[in-house]
Structure 1
Amino acid sequence: MNDQIDAATPALDPALDKVLTACKEKLPPPTAWAAFPGYPDSLALAVLDAIWSVGIRYTTTQGVVSRYTTHRRLVGGDAAHDTLTDLLALYDRLGGTNSFATTVGTSNRVSTQPGATLKSEAVHQAATTLHRLGIDTATQFRQAQGTDLGTQAETAWRAVPGQRSGISWRYLRMLLGIPDVKPDRMVKRFIATALGTDEQQLPTGQALRLVQAAAAHHGVEPHALDHEIWKYQTTAAGAHKQDTQAEHLTALAHAFIGRAFLILQEQHVLPVSRFQPFVQVGHHYQGSDLMNQPEFRELESALEDAYPERFSEPLTRANPEFANSYIFSFLEAAIAQCAYDSGTFEADSAPVAKSAAEL
């Protein structure tokens, strides 16, 4: 991990100044930055989160972690302290990677390439590899960093399908309390905007070093700044500045579906049959269960802002329209599309993307 930088390096001063200005203008003061949440005592949850979260919306990963935690609780386990032995044992108990994907995980793959490895398989490979190296607990993982064993672990991790870039490895370290930065699209977008350059043209290494240098300037750990950037980029404040309105609405729509699908699965509304794919608010599920969710409220507010001619002051109109009715229609259309397509209900699936585009 030889990516450290001297915050006072002259060649980087102009760029660093721009990043520090962006931090001052867009983020809370460093004294208000929250501690980075992770899994300091659970290597199992850290591996799950690190691999599942790459390339998909985090609400999907939260659902996986929640279901895993529930399964462990049902057998008297405590996911917050799980080892890789515990994780691999659950795979065995459920019948392998495919069963894990359908019962605990999702059908997401490590990339969009045809035939790409399921994330459930990548997690199993990564956990098996680390376990065979003698790393089973969070403490053992931290103790290995900076040693030959740590180097072997990183090499083995990056050999797992979809993990070559090292983004998930750095995120794994962060989740286990080791100072690092996850140079994903959120971080790169923030840094690129600060520098006034195109996100696609910004070298990952430069983004990484600038976050580390800015963190050093403020006297905080790099993962603390990384987390604040992530929070900014995943809220309306950041999204409106970076994406087109349509892109922002699409992101909010996917986030809402991720939360809604999880709630409806817990209530046994989902899955539905492809022969009876239609559900209706007030009949099959209660609208209030979803309207109280922050993802619903944020999408509703964004729709009202985007289409004031349709939704502003509805009670003064002869034929009032309400954004929430469109949201429920969108949800029900997405459920039907998923049922027709594959019978799997995932927020980042093609059927949901089609419904979001129609919205």
Structure 2
Amino acid sequence: MTDASDALDVERAATQLLGATAGWQEPAGYPDSLALCAIDSVYSLQSPYSATVRVLDRYRVARRRQGGDPERDGASELLAAVDDAGGPAVAAEVLFGNRGKAPGTRSARLKSEALAEAVGRLREIGIETAEALSGADEAAARRAWCVRGLGAVSWDYVLMLAGVQGVKADTMVRRFVTAAVGASVLVSKERAESAVKAAASRLGATERALDHAIWLHQRRQPAA
């Protein structure tokens, strides 16, 4: 299939299944908090979003008790909170209340460990805030973020949560595109991302709005 036909198929599926584009909304995200962007991205990997919400809420409570403002926390504030908790491994329980493991790590690396390393590497190249992401060298920032257990999908989601336009071509989005184009096997991340971006353009919608509409739709579907 061509990119153009994929876009047309996704456009048709979106029109049939997702309601009027006027009703779509971009996710609120955390445009003032790199910390919350990073936490949400990491802890939502291969996990029910309700569990991610609990992690975010627990972090917010902890930071407010410290006199901080989690809605404006940057890289340094998050890393300091992790250190205060006793380091990344201890923070999994003490700060985040979640000992989830990062995907694809043979040694079952804690998400808290991957999170701390990735955010630390962003800080090393001068990215302290969510706002700084929009003006950063995207390739360098992506390389910094993609530590063991974190890949391109989680990086795309960090950007989207910070307000940058894009598509998080995770399993749910890929399943939607797979069904739309009639593929017999799950389409690749790259194919899904390209199709959704092109369909958004055809529909006159933002990439974030279409991505979010797809996510909401897929979330309501029975587990495969």
Equivalent residue pairs, number: 223
Q: Is the 8 A contact 1:183 1:208 kept in 2?
A: yes
RMSD: 1.6
- Does the C-alpha gap of structure 1 residues 29 and 199 become closer, same or farther in structure 2, counting only changes over 3 Å? farther
Higher relative contact order (CA 8 A, sep 6+): 2
- The structure number with the bigger radius of gyration is 1
So what's the TM-score if we normalise by structure 2? 0.94
Does 2:30 match 1:42? no
* Structure 1 pair 163–187 and aligned structure 2 pair: CA distance change class (3 A): same
2:153 corresponds to 1:161: no
Which residue in 1 is equivalent to 2:121? 129
2:218 matched to 1:233?
A: yes
Please give the alpha-carbon distance, in whole angstroms, between the structure 2 residues aligned to 1:131 and 1:91.
14
Tell me the residue number matched to 1:180: 166
Listed as ranges, the matches of 1:107-256 within 5 Å are: 107-111=99-103, 113-144=105-136, 147=137, 150-158=138-146, 160-164=147-151, 166-200=152-186, 202-235=187-220, 239-240=221-222, 243=223, 247=224
Gaps of 5+ in 1: 1-9, 248-359
- Given that 2:9 and 2:181 are in contact with CA atoms closer than 8 Å, whether structure 1 keeps it comes out as yes
Contact map agreement 2:34 2:130 (CA 8 A) in 1: yes
User: Are residues 1:95 and 2:86 paired?
Assistant: yes
Match of 1:83 among 74, 93, 109: 74
**AA aligned opposite 2:7:** L
Aligned AA (2:201) = A
Question: Does the Cα contact within 8 Å between 1:85 and 1:131 map onto a contact in 2?
Answer: yes
- The more displaced of 111-120 and 175-184 is 111-120
Pairwise CA distance, 1:168: 0.4
**TM-score scaled by length of structure 1:** 0.60
Deviation at 1:18? 1.8
Q: Secondary structure of 2:127's partner?
A: coil
